[in-house]
Every structure is written in C-alpha cells, then in structure tokens.
Chain A
Amino acid sequence: MKAARLLVTALRDPETVAGIEMADWTALLTAARAERLLGTLACRLDSRAVPASVARILADARAGADEERRAALWEAEMARRALAPLGIPVVLLKGTAFVAAGLDAGQGRSIGDLDILVPREALGEAEAALRATGWEWVKENAYDDSYYRRWMHELPPLIHRDRDRMIDVHHTILPPTARPTPDAAALLAGAVLLGNGLSVLSNEDIIIHAVAHLFADGDLSGGLRNLWDIDRLIREFDGESFWVRLQERAERHDLRPAVERAARQANDLYGTPIPKRWRVWDSGDPLIKRRLLARDGWGRQGYPFTRLYFFVRSHWMRMPPLMLAKHLWTKAIRKPA
C-alpha cells in the first residue's frame, strides 16, 4: 500500500519528506499512527522541514512518547519494588528495556504493557508478590487462564488496580508449544544489570527476542514497528564479530532462520546494513513484505487474504495440529462474554 511505503521511506530517509504533498501527509501520518510508529516518526523528522499542521501533530506525538516513556520506567520501578524481596533477576523486555537501557530503538517508541522475564521456577512466587502489591487478573475465563498457565510463555496478564497498567510476566520468549525452543536459562544468564536493580537481555538476545516477537509469535500485525526495532538494534550493536555472535546465539535459541529472515526484511525495507552472505533470495520474503505493508492511508489493513494466511500461520506455528483443533473448537463454541 502506498501509505505504508510512504511511512517506511520517511523513517528510512527523513529528508525525503520535503517533497510530500498535503494529501500524502495525511495518509502517512494516519498509517504511522495505526502502526504505532507516529512517535518514532516524530523523533526522526525535523519539524522545521514540514508544514505547520504536520509539525503540530508531530509535536503532540513527541510529547506523548515522552510521557509513555516516563510512565513505562515508573511501572518498571514499581515491579522492581514488588519483586525485590524475592531476590530473583527481573529482566525488562521490549519497549521498556529499550528506554531503560537508553537504546536508539526507544526513541519515540510507543510502550503499552510492561514485559518482564523471570526464572520459570520463580513464576509462582513472582505472581504472589505482584498480587500482594495490587496487580489483579484480567482473564476471567477459566479456559483462557488454564491455557496461559499450561501452554504459554507468560502468566495470564495482570493489571494494577490503581494505575490500570498491565504486566506480562514471561518465563521464556516463545510459547512452549511453538516449534523453536529458545534457551530460557541462557537468556537469563546473559542478562545485563542496569544498576537500578533491573536488567535487560544481552545485545544479541534483545535482537533475537525482537525477531521472535515479529515472526514466531503472531500474525505480523504491528510488524513494521517490530522491524523498525530490529533495524535500530542492529545498527546500534553492529561491530567487531557482531554477526558471528548473533548467528551463534540465534542457533542456540533455535531461531536462526527467523533472525536471518528478519535481517533480510529490515535490509529490504529500512536499508539496515547486513553482511553480504546474509543477503540471499528466499521465496517467502515477498509475501512477508506484502503483509508488512498492508496499511492504507485511512489506517485500515488491506490485503485480506494475505492477512488471513498469516493469521492461520501464526496459530499453526504456535500449536501442534490436534491441539490447535481443540483450541479453536473451544474458542468457537464459547458464549460471547
């Protein structure tokens, strides 16, 4: 779609926006908002080089991102205080990790829930400690709750009763039912302390988690944002023997094909520098690109059949066939809440 392409181009080469027409600005900003990339775009563009009405919208987006960053860091601190008595490592993931570690990927990024990683054997204690300090269950449905506990890589989501903010407590980065099996112990062992009692994953593992989030755990909705994360992370971490370490680490987490695919896609869309030997042709790439660019200038998702394919694929990857059939059956016969 044209709007998604405008967005990708504006992020990759901010100076190209000088030639954009008014009608295209509307499409670009709407697509950026729908892809949750408006704050990021606002940090990339020079407000002096855009029309006044666009500059106002970008200024709002920057202010909004600053506030989201502040709220996300505060939420991380709240979780740290709740979990400190347990003496377990608490590793920040995704957007909160980017801003806590001061990474480029955090610039203007929208951050919703707090995602943390804790050792699997400490899950019960962690949940009890969070429940004792004001977090409450959201999933009322018994099937959903037991599904999470049995088959997911995270606890059922908890919401804090006063601050109305959600926390996802992970014990690994992919559902145990998914085909690849990341090494959760290695994720924790490689984590880096930030000096405030919280940690983030190692550089390579941050990228691998972003890739797992993009490809192996969902239908690629919001994919442009996740891919932008990957682009920024690669550019920031690139250096001596980086690609060798990334490849070895990806191998260890069973995610090497996914990491290579993400690197190729980031290179194609955002011009991410990747080694020559990573740049190979793959028959699956064009369809993924089409799915990533499905957003139109009204903020809608186009390409319904492409999206359906990836929706089916996301379930297929997450569950063995029999289990998938049972899951879909249970969801289908459930009475609407």
Chain B
Amino acid sequence: MRHRFSVQVGAVGFRIGSAWRGPIAALERLYVGYPKPDVPDMTVRLFPEKPWRRFARPSVAISGDFWLPDAAPLPLRQGLLAAEMGMNLQVALGWRRHLLLHCSAVERDGRVLLMSGASGSGKSTLATMLALRGWRFLGDEFAFVDLEDGRIHPFPRASSLKNEAVAAVRSAGGAVGPVLEGTPKGMIGYWRPPEIAIARMTEAAPPAMLLFPRFGRPENVERLAASETFMLLTQASTNYVSLGEAGFGALTRLVQDLPALAIDYPDGEAGMMLVDRLWGET
C-alpha cells in the first residue's frame, strides 16, 4: 500500500497500510518512540471503499487480516480513529497467543489491578488517572492473560478517552491529544502512556485484584463469587471460545483466589480513593 507504518505494542506487532498519508502521519506522532516489529503479527488496511472516495469526500474503509462485513467507513479527518479501530479489530478477532479480556490494567509493586466493564463504565479513565498517580499503565482496552502462567502482559496503546473523560484526565494533569470531534462515539481524545509504560511493555506481572467499576452511582462495593466472575469474564473475552480448552484453563486459573469486586462510584476522585482503599485491603 502507498503509505505504511508499523509498531510493536506489547506482544503485538502491527502493520498499517493506508491509501492516504494523513492517518499514517497521525500514527507516527502518537506512537513516536515505540519499538518496531521485524515481522508484524497483524495487518490493517485503510482504503477508499470506491476508487473515487480517495479524493471526493474521502472516506476510510477498514480491513486487514480480519474484518467485519458491516464496519462503516469513517471520514478522512477521523483516519486515526479508523487506524485504531482496525488495530483493535485485528486483536479482538484474530489474537490467539493469550486469553484476551476486555479490561484495563495497571500495575503497582509487581501486581496487576484489572478493571472490566462496558463502554462508559469508566475503566479507561480510571486506568489513565491511576497511571498519572504512579501506577504502571498496562493498557485500557485488552488484558493479555498468559495461557501458561496466568500473568498479565502489557498492551500499552494510547488510551482513547471519550467525551467527559477528556476533561477529567486533563484536570488530573494528563496531556490529551489529538482530539477528534463528531466521531460515531462522540468526542475522542488520545492520551499517550508515560514513557516508563512504553519502556516496560514486555514485562508481565501476576493479577492481584479484579474490579467491575460502574461510574456515576452512589458508592457501593460487592464481592463476587468466582463462578460469577468466570461467567462475566467469558462475556468480556473476545477469544475465549476460539481458544477452546486453553482458554478455559486460563480463565479458571485466573478467577481462583483473585478477589473480584463490583464497585459503584459517583465520580473520578471518589473512584480513585475507593480503588486505593480496596487495593490496600488485598
């Protein structure tokens, strides 16, 4: 393809090809300083759906090694989002080397805090804000669970913060940019992980606590049984079924002895204090 970029994020080597320079330039800025793979694991393609869409009202279709037939193209000014979605799609549909959980992850004292939840639960924002307070940022999208020893491998992509989260992270001292307005998910701002998170992207660590946060509710903490956690995480995994027995083994091991809590919190500050308190109790 005409324009190309490659980047290593944790265990995954990506290659992105694009018919336009714009999305590649944005990726180069966002991922400056990240290592490069020699042979990438996954390929993303950004291309015009019809030949004339390269110039006339250019719109970016997303494909690659894996794709969804109904993924809608994005306008060229949202090319970075298209690239990020393409990378997510490859991992979600194609990655088999680890059990993937839709979780954010941060590490402290060699132990990992996992946070699982739907979009809007605040898991990305919490992970980002914890990273601003000295936790090591492992990722805000996927937790890579080692199939052999259960440790969590980092995947420190730039965090994509949505709508109010942009202001929340900025007021906590984080630098957010670029910001894309009017995307299908509203406003999206990218937050680049601290250099230490990028430098240590190959260092895995064992999980110590799992939270299911819910933003915007009166504070409440509820302990979950291992069986319930297991069921919730099968829903939160993108490759549990395709891994077969290896996925079952890894997930069974993970939920045993791992404290799992559903937490409700009214705002970011209260969420942080709650996490600190619960982490101290583990």
Contacts and interface: CB of A to CB of B under 8 A. Distances in A.
Given A67-B243, A298-B17, A53 B65 contact: no
Contact of B15 (A26, A54, A57, A64): A26
Contacts of A26: 15, 39-40, 43
Interface string A134-164: 0000000000000000000000000000000
Contacts of A53: 13, 37-39, 41
Interface stretch (A29-37, A118-126, A277-285): A29-37
A30 B45 CA distance: 12
Nearest to A33: B65
B244 interface: yes
Contact of B39 (A22, A33, A34, A299): A22
Specify which of B17, B38, B243, B246 lies most central, judged by the most chain A CB atoms within 10 Å of its CB.
B38
Contacts of B17: 298
Nearest to B45: A298
A298 B244 contact: no
Given A34-B65, A63-B246, A56 B97 contact: yes
Nearest to A50: B39
Interface string B242-268: 111010000000000000000000000
B97 A51 contact: no
Nearest to B41: A57
Nearest to A30: B43
A335 interface: no
A71 B244 contact: yes
B120 interface: no
Contacts of A57: 39, 41
A98 interface: no
A25 interface: yes
Query: At the interface, is chain A mostly helix, strand, loop or mixed?
Result: helix
B1 interface: yes
A15 interface: no
A67 B64 CA distance: 23
Contacts of B244: 67, 70-71
Given A30-B65, A67-B244, A298 B43 contact: yes
Nearest to B243: A67
B242 A67 contact: yes
Contacts of B37: 53
A300 interface: yes
Contact of B38 (A22, A298, A299, A300): A22
A150 B43 CA distance: 41
B45 A300 contact: yes
Given A53-B13, A54-B39, A67-B244, A298 B1 contact: yes
Interface string B229-249: 000000000000011101000
Contacts of B77: none
B96 A64 contact: yes
B96 A63 contact: yes
Nearest to A74: B244
A60 interface: yes
Contact of B45 (A25, A33, A63, A299): A299
B64 A299 contact: yes
A199 B160 CA distance: 52
A34 B244 CA distance: 23
Nearest to A23: B39
Contacts of B65: 30, 33-34, 299
Nearest to B1: A298
Contacts of A70: 244
A71 B243 CA distance: 10
A25 B37 CA distance: 12
A82 B102 CA distance: 36
A298 B97 CA distance: 22
A243 B40 CA distance: 44
A54 B243 CA distance: 20
A222 B281 CA distance: 56
Nearest to A59: B97
A34 B13 CA distance: 18
Contacts of A71: 244
Contact of A60 (B38, B64, B97): B97
Nearest to A63: B96
A323 B169 CA distance: 62
Given A70-B244, A299-B65, A51 B96 contact: no
B209 to A, nearest CB: 29
B248 to A, nearest CB: 11
A252 to B, nearest CB: 39
Interface in A37-57: 51, 53-54, 56-57
Given A26-B15, A299-B64, 13 more contacts: A22-B39, A26-B39, A26-B40, A26-B43, A30-B65, A33-B65, A51-B39, A53-B39, A56-B41, A67-B246, A71-B244, A298-B17, A300-B45
Closest 6 A-B residue pairs measured CB to CB?
A: A53-B39, A67-B244, A25-B39, A60-B96, A22-B38, A30-B43
Interface of A: 22, 25-26, 29-30, 33-34, 51, 53-54, 56-57, 60, 63-64, 67, 70-71, 298-300
26 contacts: A22-B38, A22-B39, A25-B39, A26-B40, A26-B43, A30-B43, A33-B65, A51-B38, A51-B39, A53-B13, A53-B37, A53-B38, A53-B39, A56-B97, A57-B41, A60-B97, A64-B96, A64-B242, A67-B242, A67-B243, A67-B246, A70-B244, A71-B244, A299-B64, A299-B65, A300-B45
